[in-house]
């Protein structure tokens, strides 16, 4: 007789459960084979069946984002996954991390409002009584296509930002101090919070960014107080010691707070940039494209799974990384299962660096709205990025391809009257989804018809999913 397991419904958790398989079927009825949706591992559902205990071989009724239906209990779990969203922000980067204990980290924000629109939709911030907190906001470097979209997020009255991290390089109005003074082959002038008298004048954009940081700091206690009045946030709004933090982050920190080696849900290592001290002042390597080359690089470790996020590293900085970590005997720290391609899939990459990472799957964030002035991703990069994988079927996901464009009708083209040939409109928001339960890991994108009311709903989407192979321990050398 088949062993039955029970899913106990905890009233405190309001009967929420999560998809346990790579893709879980939502059926139209309690019996039959007709499906109305498929849910990627980790997607939430709420059981509406009245029973206090549901047997694993039964089908239960659930509501989910976009509709309702029935699910096999064996496909449900009470354990949350690590969720990572590589957002489609056109030519830029933005990555939302949601941890298994329901905390959030935002890495970059693109240039426009796309990242904020995603947060607003996902967390219902269009409603005045809804709030979220971000454990950390990380600006990998000060380019507009990574940091511009963070300004409105930092200013948002319903988003509590606890920590802001950056690489210490801020764009300046004077060329001699932009992004910092150069001494020999080193770059100095690194700052935590550039607001002290005597600091070189910031560019207009950097002033706006720092002003938004100040607003986030000022607003934090007020938002936290409002959130504490809601039951769901009780005992979950712990602040950093001393309150709000804004400071430079580099490899000397080892980990992104609060995700150090003792965090039982997730560890986030800081691998780059790497400053050295000339006298008493920290300095970075001063080669071409110093802002990009000193991007903050993070490695997420969740059980047996790892994800590398590399900002806008370029070929010269990749060579610097290999040299630095080789001397320290720590090259193995860079191997990762998933690689978020540096600089939107630019042609300026190092083959030895890709060989060092040897990823099984890659994610590329790119997309020019009208004219492809950047040429990202590079054809050579696409052909090389997973070349050093040891598995039979590596994968490459692109926000630009996942966005999916469709040709405008003749009347729509006439209305636009651009004179530049065929025009296209975005048909699907190009988010790349990652899920990890510590053992299994899946990357996925959606495609298919647009739901009539909610363009982000799961109802009519189909999934293209890549799963990390489960390696034999002996074969893996463990």
- Asked, for residue 469, whether it belongs to a domain, the answer is no
d(CA 319, CA 472): 33
pLDDT score, position 345 = 67
pLDDT score, position 456 = 54
Q: Are residues 65 and 13 located together in one domain of the fold?
A: yes
d(CA 63, CA 47): 7
- Strands (E) in 82-178, as ranges, are 82-86, 95-98, 104-107, 132-134, 136-138, 159-161, 163-166
Structure-token pair, residue 322:
């290999």
Given its phi and psi angles, is residue 242 left (phi above 0), alpha (psi -120 to 50 degrees) or beta?
left
pLDDT bucket at 279, cuts 50 / 70 / 90: low
- Asked, for residue 450, whether it belongs to a domain, the answer is no
- Asked, for residue 448, whether it belongs to a domain, the answer is no
pLDDT score, position 89 = 86
* CATH number, residue 239: 3.60.15.10
pLDDT bucket at 474, cuts 50 / 70 / 90: very low
**Digit-coded pLDDT (tens) for 136-169:** 999 999 998 899 999 999 999 999 999 999 999 9
| pLDDT above 60 for 180 | yes
- Asked, for residue 228, whether it belongs to a domain, the answer is yes
| pLDDT above 50 for 270 | yes
- CB-side neighbour CA atoms (13 Å) of 324: 18
Q: Are residues 328 and 430 located together in one domain of the fold?
A: yes
d(CA 79, CA 19): 9
Q: In this predicted structure, which of 97-106, 243-252, 368-377 has the lowest mean pLDDT?
A: 368-377
- For the segment 15-31, the average pLDDT, to the nearest whole number, is 92
- 335: Cβ–Cβ under 8 A, 6 or more apart, which residues? 306, 356, 357, 358
d(CA 474, CA 478): 6
User: β-pairing, 245-248 with 163-166?
Assistant: parallel
- For the segment 216-237, the average pLDDT, to the nearest whole number, is 90
pLDDT bucket at 2, cuts 50 / 70 / 90: very low
pLDDT score, position 193 = 86
Q: Are residues 38 and 96 located together in one domain of the fold?
A: no
pLDDT score, position 9 = 40
Given its phi and psi angles, is residue 291 left (phi above 0), alpha (psi -120 to 50 degrees) or beta?
alpha
* CATH number, residue 47: 2.30.30.40
| pLDDT above 80 for 441 | yes
Q: Are residues 47 and 97 located together in one domain of the fold?
A: no
pLDDT bucket at 422, cuts 50 / 70 / 90: very low
Which of 48-62, 295-309, 364-378, 460-474 is modeled with the greatest confidence? 295-309
| pLDDT above 70 for 344 | no
| pLDDT above 70 for 313 | yes
C-beta atoms surrounding 298 within 10 Å: 27
- Asked, for residue 389, whether it belongs to a domain, the answer is yes
Element (H, E) at 462: strand 461-467
| pLDDT above 70 for 275 | yes
Q: Are residues 423 and 347 located together in one domain of the fold?
A: yes
Q: Which of 364, 177, 395 is nearest to 286 (CA)?
A: 177
In which domain, by residue range, is 160 found? 82-435
Q: Are residues 406 and 290 located together in one domain of the fold?
A: yes
- For the segment 185-194, the average pLDDT, to the nearest whole number, is 84
226 or 49, greater pLDDT: 226
Q: Are residues 58 and 192 located together in one domain of the fold?
A: no
Q: In this predicted structure, which of 9-13, 35-39, 412-416, 425-429 has the lowest mean pLDDT?
A: 9-13
Helical segments of 188-300, H only: 204-228, 290-293
Q: Are residues 71 and 88 located together in one domain of the fold?
A: no
By CB atoms closer than 10 A (0-12, 13-18, 19+), residue 73 is: buried
Tell me which of 77, 106, 124 is where a domain ends.
Answer: 77
- Asked, for residue 269, whether it belongs to a domain, the answer is yes
**Digit-coded pLDDT (tens) for 73-123:** 999 998 999 999 999 887 789 999 999 999 999 999 999 998 999 999 899
d(CA 265, CA 102): 10
d(CA 250, CA 273): 5
Q: Are residues 137 and 44 located together in one domain of the fold?
A: no
Q: Are residues 321 and 262 located together in one domain of the fold?
A: yes
If one counts the domains in the chain, the total is: 2
Q: What angle do CA 238, 243, 245 make, to 5 degrees?
A: 110
Share of the chain above pLDDT 90, in %: 55
pLDDT bucket at 280, cuts 50 / 70 / 90: low
Q: Which of 75, 208, 77 is nearest to 151 (CA)?
A: 208
pLDDT score, position 444 = 92
Share of the chain above pLDDT 70, in %: 80
What DSSP string describes 354-368?
A: HHHH--SEEEE----
Q: Which of 99, 79, 38, 17 is nearest to 459 (CA)?
A: 38
- For the segment 305-327, the average pLDDT, to the nearest whole number, is 93
Q: In this predicted structure, which of 151-165, 224-238, 313-327 has the lowest mean pLDDT?
A: 224-238
With b meaning 16 or more CB within 10 Å and e meaning fewer, what string describes 345-363? bbebbbeebbebbbbbbbb
**Digit-coded pLDDT (tens) for 39-76:** 999 999 999 876 545 555 688 999 988 789 999 999 99
Q: Looking at the DSSP assignment, which residues form a beta bridge with residue 133? A: 160
d(CA 416, CA 384): 39
d(CA 83, CA 76): 16
Q: Looking at the DSSP assignment, which residues form a beta bridge with residue 118? A: none
d(CA 302, CA 200): 41
pLDDT score, position 5 = 42
| Average pLDDT of the chain, as a whole number | 84
d(CA 436, CA 470): 13
Q: Are residues 146 and 246 located together in one domain of the fold?
A: yes
Tell me which of 38, 60, 77 is where a domain ends.
Answer: 77
Q: Are residues 332 and 278 located together in one domain of the fold?
A: yes
- Asked, for residue 151, whether it belongs to a domain, the answer is yes
- Asked, for residue 14, whether it belongs to a domain, the answer is yes
pLDDT score, position 388 = 94
**What pTM did the predictor assign?**
0.89
Tell me which of 60, 77, 94 is where a domain ends.
Answer: 77
- The residue written with tokens 């712990």 in the block is 238
């Amino acid at each position: 007789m088949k062993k039955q397991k029970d899913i106990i419904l905890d009233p405190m958790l309001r009967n929420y459960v999560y998809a346990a398989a790579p893709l879980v079927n939502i059926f139209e009825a309690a019996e039959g084979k007709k499906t109305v949706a498929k849910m990627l591992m980790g997607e939430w559902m709420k059981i509406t069946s009245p029973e206090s205990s549901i047997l694993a071989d039964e089908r239960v009724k659930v509501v989910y984002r976009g509709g309702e239906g029935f699910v096999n209990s064996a496909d449900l779990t009470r354990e949350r996954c690590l969720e990572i969203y590589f957002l489609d922000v056109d030519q830029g980067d933005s990555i939302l991390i949601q941890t298994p204990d329901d905390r959030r980290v935002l890495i970059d924000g693109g240039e426009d409002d796309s990242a904020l629109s995603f947060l607003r939709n996902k967390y219902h911030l269009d409603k005045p009584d809804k709030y979220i907190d971000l454990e950390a906001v990380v600006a990998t470097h000060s380019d507009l296509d990574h940091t511009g979209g963070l300004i409105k997020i930092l200013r948002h009255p319903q988003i509590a930002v606890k920590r802001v991290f950056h690489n210490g390089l801020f764009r300046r109005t004077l060329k001699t101090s932009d992004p910092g003074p150069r001494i020999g082959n080193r770059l100095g002038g690194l700052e935590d919070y550039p607001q002290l008298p005597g600091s070189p004048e910031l560019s207009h954009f950097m002033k706006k960014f720092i002003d938004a940081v100040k607003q986030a700091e000022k607003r934090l206690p007020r938002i936290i107080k409002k959130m504490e009045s809601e039951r769901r946030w009780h005992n979950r709004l712990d602040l950093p010691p001393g309150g709000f933090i804004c400071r430079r982050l580099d490899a000397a920190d080892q980990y992104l707070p609060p995700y150090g080696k003792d965090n039982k849900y997730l560890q986030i290592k800081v691998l780059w940039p790497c400053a050295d001290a000339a006298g008493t002042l920290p300095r970075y390597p001063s080669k071409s494209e110093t802002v990009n080359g000193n991007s903050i690089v993070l490695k997420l470790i969740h059980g047996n799974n790892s994800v590398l996020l590399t900002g806008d590293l370029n070929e010269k900085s990749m060579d610097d990384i290999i040299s630095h970590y080789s001397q320290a005997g720590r090259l193995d720290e860079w191997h990762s299962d998933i690689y978020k391609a540096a600089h939107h899939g630019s042609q300026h990459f190092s083959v030895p660096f890709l060989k060092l990472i040897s990823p099984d799957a890659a994610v590329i964030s790119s997309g020019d709205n009208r004219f492809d002035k950047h040429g990202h991703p590079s054809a050579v990069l696409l052909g090389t990025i997973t070349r050093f994988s040891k598995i039979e079927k590596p994968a490459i996901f692109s926000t630009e391809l996942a966005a999916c464009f469709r040709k405008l009708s003749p009347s729509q083209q006439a209305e636009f009257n651009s004179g530049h040939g065929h025009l296209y409109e975005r048909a699907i928001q190009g988010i790349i989804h990652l899920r990890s339960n510590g053992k299994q890991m899946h990357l996925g994108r959606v495609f298919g018809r647009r739901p009539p009311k909610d363009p982000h709903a799961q109802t009519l989407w189909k999934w293209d999913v890549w799963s990390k192979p489960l390696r034999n321990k002996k074969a893996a050398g463990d």
